[in-house]
Chains A and B, each alone.
Chain A
Amino acid sequence: MLYIVDRRKNPKGKSLGNRQRFMRRAKAQIKKAVEDTIRTRGITDINSGDSITIPGKTLHEPSFHHARRGGDRNYVLPGNKKFVPGDRIARPQGGDGGAGGSQASPDGDGEDEFQFTLSRDEFLDIFFEDLELPDLLKKSLKQTTAFRTARAGFSSDGTPANLSLVRTMRNSLARRIGLRRPKTAEIRDLEEKIAALQAKAEKRPSGKLTKPDEDTLHMLLADIEEAKRRMKAIPFIDPIDTRYNQFQQIPDPNTQAVMFCLMDVSGSMSEQMKELAKRFFMLLHLFLHRRYDHVDVVFIRHTSRAAEVDEETFFYSRETGGTIVSTALEEMKRVMKDRYPTDQWNIYAAQASDGDNYSNDGAKCTALLAEDLLPKCQYYAYIEITDEREAEIFSSAEGETALWKAYAPVARANARFALKRVTKAADIFPVFRELFAKNRAEKLSGVKG
């Protein structure tokens, strides 16, 4: 007796429940692996690299079994080529390669590490978990002021420009049929018949029609008079036929953001420092990209004067000169005013510097920030990149740089402004997290420098 069952159409993913339980179980490890990945690999890999390795320890399923070595044991092997009883063989060292030991362990697959693949979404979700953009709720999608126009059906009144011809004509046609408005063709038909009869009369010697024709002509004349009267009384298009396209203003969620990258490119910034700044910018970009449909990036570099440049120039071209930070802020203000009105754009700014500034410039920067930039920005982050060797010095209060001194009061006064120090690549991610952590407001109060 045989039953053949075709199970191919059965619902797939029977293991989904198991996979979810597995992910739950390994959550801590997976998160750690993801963070390690971010710390050690280049930022650009984040979007592609999605295979992770987690330590098998907590995923290990222990059981009682014999140790692989020790004690007296024996085992049978196949494929003897040269051995005779009594031959001695050196004990193979380490691992189970080749001869000997492997058979001795009936069980025990060493699960030191466990590699598997996360989908890109799973990966990024874990990466961004419990990160939240600041003020996102405040300027939540509902409260945006931008609107777009969308069709919203038809109405019986409106401006002639919005007249919907098709709808209007459809109504008019229905009304004309309903009220039996004669068509032009019908009238023409009647006229032709009358003309034909009249022509007939002229051809006759008597000049008169026969009696039946006479009657017909009278009927026709009466008909045509009635038809013309109706035609006049029933308009082709009546005001009640007209329909107008209706439009509505729908609030348009503001899903675009612009990110200003400001960087000091004067000689005091080394390549490594720039590299660090770059990582920070890229991480910010990735993050914004996830939250907004569209993210613009504006690169502004400055020495003693500032200019908007492309990415390549921003990171890789060298410039010499002094350092006046306010020029960059001025430039940012200008670009914002020209191209990024606040009702359409969410504005984020990130500034990286080694902290040098022209000594008299501090007050100007503070003023620009507090009065012009911060009110329009969602968030402004300043990271100060210091040499690893100098980090020690700056950990004390006296070691504050010129820019830090100027910015610190602003940060205390304004929750939209945050500042942090970074010395090496591994610092980037923690700093980033701290800057954007959900409870940033509380954290910031603790930031002094």
Chain B
Amino acid sequence: MSKKTEPATAPELLFSGADWDFNTLKATYDAIEDIAINELKLDVYPNQVEVITSEQMLDAYSSIGMPLMYHHWSFGKRFVRDDVMYRKGYQGLAYEIVINSNPCISYVMEENTIVMQALVIAHAAFGHNHFFKSNYLFKQWTDAEGILDYLQFAKRYIAKCEDRFGFDAVERVLDAAHALMEQGVNRYSHPEKPNLAAELERERERAKYEDETYNDLWRTLPQAEKDDEDLDEMRRKMRVEERRAQFGLPEENLLYFLEKNAPTLQAWEREILRIVRNIGQYFYPQKQTKMMNEGCACYVHYAIMNSLYDKGLISEGAMMEFIDYHSRVVFQAEYDDPRYSGFNPYALGFAMMQDIHRICVDPTEEDRKWFPDIAGNNEPVETLKEAWAHYRDESFILQFLSPKLMRDMRMFLIDDLSSSPHLEVAAIHDDNGYRKVRRALARMHDISVREPDMQVVDVDLRGNRQLYIQHTEHDGVRLEKSEAEMTLGYIGQLWGYGVTLQAVDNETGEILHEMDFSPDDLMQGI
């Protein structure tokens, strides 16, 4: 940071050179912890730093960053691809992986230099760790205490299923469940705080209940005798309403609906759906806060490394090395740069955090007008901690993106309308454009806009058990057709009967087009 505190007596450097051993690592950690806890006053889970090799990093990569994971071919595919990319030098490996658990586990690679290890500890073990512990989404949606035990359970359970029912049967269910993972979260109604330990108990009870209540007599009950045909319009409507209420429709969580209601699934198949759903739910907050999370971690590591330097604990050489890494991480390519691939969450996040810091400490007139509540309050860290706790990417941008940052990054807004042969510049970084640009950027970070709006709307319970799924189209943006067809096939496979996917216009409510999956397709294999 910019504060220059000249120490009375020059303290000893924490390290020199690139090599490290466990003692220097520990000493460095202690110095960083001192700054993080006593100066920044971060609130963190206890830390566990694990040193791993690059091979182990590749392993961890392929199983979506988790230390334990059930086996599935898609992880093998990722491993094979990453392995090729890494060996050919097209792609480096992450310097660290951090896991939202208690204790908070950070993986660091053995070949990192000590400067890198310091950066990684500051970034992951304090930056991300604080964010995990304080952000409201993580608090509400994830169970840091239970995740590792739950993954252990999931791994064992799926291995057991493979033993009992064969690789193919388990693979079919997992494939289908993975395809629906993004539709396996509750977006709007958040559940009670998950308790993954209770999950284990619940699974046992479900199996027990099924065993106890099994009665062959149910099979012999006569089918519903009357058809709907003779009912008048009014009663038919009522029936539909009744039915929808019975199934809790509409239901946005497709996996949840299938787990509970698919008529042909076995108990273990339902449990696998539940496992995939729980894991999807666990990652959901990370998707919504990617930019903030990285911004927070970058802000923290930047503050800590500067503080270490100011205290004379690290050398100028080390500081140069750090600045090199840091500036590479927070690099933002411009739109016409061949390297451009969207906003870099590290860059945008870090820039926003630094900008808020500036507004708190050294505001301009413009800042006072735009952010009257925080401008010049001289409590940058407290302000940021408030923001980290109570926002997600979308709302954070909407609240805190300042005109200065929009000017600095030279943001502009493009309209891409299907009715027009051209793209049109709708707004740029000027007085007329700030709010438009900010709103659009926030929408781009809104996961409910990015991901399609899918719901289960109806089940034809008296007829052929056709399942109706609705995709609400916003602004005429359709689903990727071939992908949707394949995914629909997976739903059909789980449901066991026909499925119809209807695309509905969000304004008029009229059905735009339909896509069908019939159970006959299932017979021929998908």
Contact = CB atoms under 8 A, between A and B. Distances in A.
B440 A74 contact: yes
A114 B78 CA distance: 11
B421 interface: yes
Contacts of B81: 114, 116
B411 A80 contact: yes
A233 interface: no
Interface stretch (B144-152, B192-200, B293-301, B474-482): B474-482
A371 B420 CA distance: 85
A64 B414 contact: no
A13 B433 CA distance: 53
B84 interface: yes
Given A18-B79, A21-B76, A79 B337 contact: yes
A73 B413 CA distance: 11
Contacts of B93: none
Given A8-B110, A12-B55, A88-B423, A60 B71 contact: no
A20 interface: yes
Interface string B166-209: 01000100010011111100000000000000000000000000
A294 B6 CA distance: 77
B440 A75 contact: yes
Contacts of A15: 58-59, 62-63, 75-76, 79
Contacts of A104: 416
Interface in B388-424: 409-419, 421-424
Interface of A: 1-8, 10, 12-15, 17-26, 59-68, 70-81, 83-91, 97-104, 106-108, 114-117
Given A71-B475, A91-B421, A108-B480, A64 B182 contact: yes
A3 B411 contact: no
A85 B432 contact: yes
B25 to A, nearest CB: 6
Contacts of B337: 79
Given A21-B171, A100-B423, A115-B84, A61 B179 contact: yes
A134 B471 CA distance: 60
Interface string B439-482: 01100100000111010000000000000000101111111111
B76 A18 contact: yes
Main SS of the interface on chain A?
loop
Contact of A3 (B49, B58, B478): B49
Contacts of B419: 72
A104 B475 CA distance: 13
Interface string B31-69: 001000000000000111111110110110011000000
Contacts of B454: 64
A38 to B, nearest CB: 21
B451 A65 contact: yes
A66 B477 contact: yes
A1 B478 contact: no
A102 B424 CA distance: 16
A18 B336 contact: no
B496 interface: no
B428 A102 contact: no
B25 A4 contact: yes
A86 B59 CA distance: 50
Given A63-B181, A64-B479, A100-B416, A87 B425 contact: yes
